[in-house]
Structure 1
Amino acid sequence: MIQGSRQQSGRDAESHALRHLQQQGLRLLAQNWLCKRGELDLVMLDGDTVVFVEVRYRQHTQWGGALGSIDGRKRQKLILAAQIFLQKESRWSNHPCRFDVVAIDGAPGAEARLNWLRNAFDS
């Protein structure tokens, strides 16, 4: 039953990230948006900017933590999914876009540390 609890922890982390971003003034456009190429955890609007948010949660940080869990392959999947989103949701296609990561490390609840990294894919 570990898988079920991991899925629940992921959903809880996503809800926590969503609440945090909404408190910062972002507006939810889509959640768990699926296409053949992948999934977008959260699609938000920050002013007129469409923000594709990847939520990463790790209870333990010994292998790089939540932020370290995003590699080049994961970035490419997210970029492809975002391109498909913009094709299917054409009303957003002329808006500026960015990729953010919300990394949550630690035990679920009050002890978890949230790190919101804006423009996470910019070098």
Structure 2
Amino acid sequence: MNKRETGSCYEEQAAVCLQKKGYRIIERNYRCRQGEVDLVCRHGRYLVFVEVKYRSSGRMGGPLEAVNRVKQERIRAAAVYYMFSHNIPEDCPCRFDVVGILGNQVELIQDAF
């Protein structure tokens, strides 16, 4: 399996986990010049931009650690463009969640940044 296939597999696992928690998946792998958002969801009244990170082991650091300041800024920029291009009002409540998958363990951090 190549990296894209591996990523898609774990993004699907994250999507299933989120749906069980009441999230509604709107879009997967949204890409624009500003960056990429793995999953765009609705959760209650929130529009949620979700980053999914997978690590097979903690040797190189945990998956949540990989969502550093630079990655966060690219996700924010992509989210702003997503809202603009989909005519979503600026006052729409939004948040950024991260799903970290380490081996078989899935962890959701709501409002991560």
TM-score (norm 1): 0.87
Structure 1 unaligned blocks of 5 or more: 107-111
1:61-72 aligned at under 5 Å gives the runs 61-72=58-69
1:85 & 1:39 partners in 2: Cα distance? 10
RMSD: 1.2
Q: Aligned partners of 1:95, 1:29: CA distance in 2, in Å?
A: 15
Match 1:91 to one of 88, 92, 95: 88
**C-alpha distance after superposition, 1:1-35 (max 9, x if no partner):** xxx43322211110000011011111111111110
Q: Which structure is larger by alpha-carbon Rg, 1 or 2? A: 1
Partner of 2:2: 5
Q: Percent identity?
A: 35
Write out per-residue CA displacement over residues 24-72 of structure 1, whole angstroms, 9 at most, x where no aligned residue.
Answer: 1111111111101111100000011000000001112112111111111
Give the number of equivalent residue pairs: 113
1:23 to 6, 11, 20: 20
1:114 is the counterpart of 2:106: yes
1:80 aligned residue: 77
Moved more, 13-22 or 64-73: 64-73
Counterpart among 29, 47, 52 of residue 49 in structure 2: 52
Q: Which runs of 4+ in 1 moved over 6 A?
A: none
How far is the alpha carbon of 1:95 from its aligned partner? 1.7
**1:81 alignment partner, SS class:** helix
Secondary structure at the aligned position of 2:62 is classed as coil
- Distance across 1 between alignment mates of 2:42 and 2:81: 17
**What TM-score comes out, normalization by structure 2 length?**
0.94
